[in-house]
Chain A
Amino acid sequence: MLPRVATGLRVAIAEDSVLLREGIARLLADAGFDVIATCGDADQLRAEIRVTLPDVVIVDIRLPPTHTDEGLRAAIDLRAAHPGLAVLVLSQYVEVGLAMQLLADSAAGVGYLLKDRISDVPSFVAALRRVAAGGSAIDPAIVSTLLSRRRRDDPLAALTPREREVLELMAEGTSNQGIADRLTITLRAAEKYVSSIFTKLGIPTTRSESRRVLAVLLFLRS
Chain B
Amino acid sequence: MNQASIPSEENLDPTPFDLMQVPVLGPLFRWRYARPFLQAPLLLISVAMILHGLFGPSLAPKNLATTLSWLHFRGILVLVLLCAGNFFCLACPFMLVRQVARRFFRPRFTWPRALRNKWVSVALFVLILFTYELFDLWSSPWWTAWLIIGYFLSVLVVDGLFKHATFCKFVCPIGQFNFVASTLSPFEVKVRDQDVCTRCLTKDCIRGRRDATSDLVVIRGCELALFQPRKVGNMDCTFCLDCIHACPHDNVGILSRLPGTELLGDSLRSGIGYFSRRNDLAALVVVFTFGALLNAFGMVSPVYAVENWLGKVLHVSHEAPVLGLIFAAFLILEPVLLLGSAGLLTQAWGGVQRAFLPLVVRYSYGLVPIGFGMWLAHYGFHFLTGLYTIIPVTQNFLASLGFPFLGEPRWTLTGLPANAVQVIEIGFLVLGFVGSLAVTHGLADEDFPANALRAFIPWAVVCAVLFGASLWLIFQPMEMRATLMSG
Partners in one complex: no
**Interfacial residues, chain B to chain A (CB-CB below 8 A):** none
